[in-house]
Structure 1
Amino acid sequence: EFRAEGRQFDLIVLDPPKFAPSAQHIDRAARAYKEINLVGMQLLRPGGLLFTYSCSGAISMELFQKIVAGAATDARSDARILRRLSAGTDHPMSAAFPEGEYLKGLLLEKV
C-alpha cells in the first residue's frame, strides 16, 4: 500500500517472526527475508536507515547479509552496512549450543 502511494521513510525496522524454525526451512525463509527487505529498501529514502533482524538460528549472519544485499540489489538500491547486530551481553550463549546465537541484525544506510 505504501509503495503504491509512493511513500518513503527515514527509518524502517524489520523484526519478523522466526521464518526458519529448522534447517529444512532455510530456502523458504531466505525468500521471505529477501521479500521483506526488498520492500523495506523500496520504502526507504536515500540516507535513510534500515534496522533488519532475523531470529532464525538456521540462518547464519553470513547468509542473512547475502539475502539483504540481494534485496538491495533487486530494489536497485545501494546500501552500506553501518553495524552488525546481535544479542546483548545479558543474553549469554552456551558454548555447547552455538545455535543459541540465533538473533542477528544489520543496520544499513541507503546510499
Structure 2
Amino acid sequence: ETELRLREILEKLDQQIPPRPFTHLKSTTSAKHSTATVLNPQHTYCRGDQLDVLLEARDYLGRRKEYGGDFLRARMFTPALKAGATGKVTDFNNGTYLVSFTLFWEGPVS
C-alpha cells in the first residue's frame, strides 16, 4: 500500500513538470531578464494587507517564457525587525506567476 501511494504521488509530480526538453542554457529562466510588477500599488499598506506581485519569466535571451514549472521561492524581510515572511506562488503555466504576501509588520521590506 505504501508503494502504491508513493507511485501515485510521483505520478502527480510528473504531471506538474512541463513536457519541455532542456535544449540550451539560454532557454532557461533568467532572474535578471524576468520582471516583477506590484499589482494595484498603494502609497501605504496596513498590517494584514495582501501585497500581490506579478512575475513574468523570461529566458537568458530576454524572450518571455510560454510555460510554467519554474521552482520559485518568494520571501520578504526587514533587517530592522529581523523578521521575514514567505509568499504564496501561483503558477499560471504560461510563464507568469502570482506571488502573494501577507504583510505582518509595519515598516519597509525588501
TM-score w.r.t. the length of structure 2 is 0.33
Greater fraction helix: 1
TM-score w.r.t. the length of structure 1 is 0.32
Which of the two has higher C-alpha Rg?
2
Point out which structure has higher relative CO (alpha carbons under 8 A, 6+ apart): 1
Greater fraction strand: 2
